[in-house]
Structure 1
């Protein structure tokens, strides 16, 4: 197997910036469509009965639930998918994997996603510890037993023309007979 190249802080930071921009743009587009009726109803409720206010509150709660769900699905879903990375990490040539360089399960990816909040609440110390770990792991990587590696580090997937299922081909040295 190739030597593993762990993702550095700079690449990971750029990947997060790309992801925040993409997710923000997506939310802005979808949010405009969803929030406009909520704002309109909220404005109308100032001049009408309390049932519209309750409806507006429920609408806002639904929108917030959708927002949190979309955020979870974006990060945990992409990292648990066959892509093994969010679009930002893909752009930076990074993949998220477990310690055997295999794809994360959705459960482990969700644990990693939730652990991001702990890394942030601790005054970003959870991110900064990557400078002091041998495999450049952050707190959320350590909690979820995951790694962020350069794409070149993962085993190559090759497909034969006759096969429709990709197979992992380990590096083997030819034996002389």
Structure 2
């Protein structure tokens, strides 16, 4: 869509107002940090995050550290969703294997012998997904949360694998590494602190 025809909703004095055309914003008191949203966006962004507004109003992009962090229950639910989907996929594969295996003992071995592969699949999938441009697994995307570095940027593949591997440390003893998220303002689990990562959520107004 042409920038001139985009409808902009602007937060003024704490209240969403508009919509406005791009040229109308030129006459308004828009600051770098003014919250603005266009159709199709789930969340507001600051004015400097829009390329067309930077060009129109002479703003420069300002990378700011995240200030909205995912809570423990959001992260737990996201992980549960991921495990559910991976386990469902495993069950479907086992049922498909039953078509070719008739022996009952072999079927039992097939059904239970591969269960340890589920957390391994979670480790690989989580590492790849969180280092991707989406910065999130399916579970995290459904909860509108994602993994970033301390500046809010996409993490590298190496950092992502290291972060997920460090979850082993977070589980012992007594999952203290996960409970550690209640002890710091950024709600980092211990593996986040080790990897210098954050799990952030969308800013909603």
Counterpart selection for 1:16 from 74, 79, 98: 79
Q: Which string of whole-angstrom CA distances, capped at 9 and with x for unpartnered residues, describes residues 10-35 of structure 1?
A: 21121112112112111211233347
Q: Closer, same or farther in 2 for the Cα pair 1:18/1:68, shift >3 Å?
A: closer
Give the corresponding residue for 2:161.
110
Q: 1:41 to 1:93 in 2, by over 3 A?
A: same
Q: For 1:1-177, what aligned pairs fall within 5 Å after superposition?
A: 1=64, 4-34=67-97, 40=103, 43=106, 67=118, 69-152=120-203
Give the secondary structure class of the aligned counterpart of 2:87: helix
SS in 1 for 2:166: helix
Q: 1:91 to 1:20 in 2, by over 3 A?
A: same
Aligned to 2:80, the other structure's residue is in SS state helix
- Once the two structures are superposed, what CA deviation does each residue of 1:121-152 show, in whole Å capped at 9, x if it has no partner? 32111100100012110011011111000133
Query: Aligned-residue CA RMSD in angstroms?
Result: 2.9
Number of equivalenced pairs: 138
Partner of 1:82, secondary structure, is coil
TM-score, normalized by length of structure 2?
A: 0.57
Cα distance in 2 for partners of 1:67, 1:17 equals 12
Structure 1 counterpart SS, 2:70: coil
Q: Is 2:129–2:137's contact at 8 Å kept on the other side of the alignment?
A: yes
Q: Determine helix, strand or coil for the equivalent of 2:86.
A: helix
Deviation at 1:42, TM superposition (A): 5.9
Q: Equivalent residue of 1:121, what SS? A: coil
Higher strand share: 2
Q: Distance in 2 between matches of 1:35 and 1:67?
A: 19
Q: Contact 2:66–2:151 (CA<8 Å) still a contact in 1?
A: no
CA contact (8 A) 2:66 2:152 kept: no
- Larger proportion of helix: 1
